[in-house]
Each structure stands twice: as C-alpha cells, then as structure tokens.
Amino acid sequence: MNSVRTLIDVAIWAIIVWIVLGYIVVLGRVPWGHPVRKVYDSLQNVMQRILRPLRNVLPPVRIGGAALDLAPLVLILGLTLLRSLV
C-alpha cells in the first residue's frame, strides 16, 4: 500500500513539474537543445497520452480569446482522491 501511495505522489509531482516547465519553456524561450527543454518534451509525451482521454470528456474552458485546460487539475484531484482511498 505504501508503494502505491508513493507512486501516486510521484505522478502528482510529475504533473506539477510538467506544468511549471511548460511555463518556463513558453515564457522563458528555452532553446531546443537545453536540458530543461528535453525534460519538458519527455514529460509532454507522457502527459499528452494520459490527458487525451480526459480532454475528450472535459474540453478546455474558453475565457475570452484564451482557453483554460482543466484536465491536469482534474487528474491531480482524482489522484489525490485515489491516494486517500488507498
């Protein structure tokens, strides 16, 4: 049981790191060969596969000309709920 909780914690932190690195890459203009960009691209590949089914059910919320993607937040909440049940 403890290993399942640890795995869920790692998944939650991976989502948070992916979100933060996404802002760093987009706003910081990180070059393609930079290690931060490589970590972000690796996480991006994994997260897109995980979030795609959730985004099909919960599309991004339109706010003016922008869209707010709630799928990572819903995934974190779901994992937190699952962690509390384990």
Please state, rounded to an integer, the average pLDDT across all residues of the chain.
Answer: 92
* CB atoms near residue 21 (< 10 Å): 20
The tally of domains found in the chain comes to: 1
Range of the structural domain that residue 19 is part of: 2-85
pLDDT value for 74: 96
pLDDT value for 32: 81
**Orientation of helix 35-57 relative to helix 71-85, angle to 10°:** 80
* Mean pLDDT along residues 53-71: 92
Confidence of residue 17 (pLDDT cuts 50, 70, 90): very high
Q: pLDDT for 18-28, tens place per residue?
A: 999 998 888 88
* Mean pLDDT along residues 43-56: 95
Q: Output the six-digit token pair for 17.
A: 């790191």
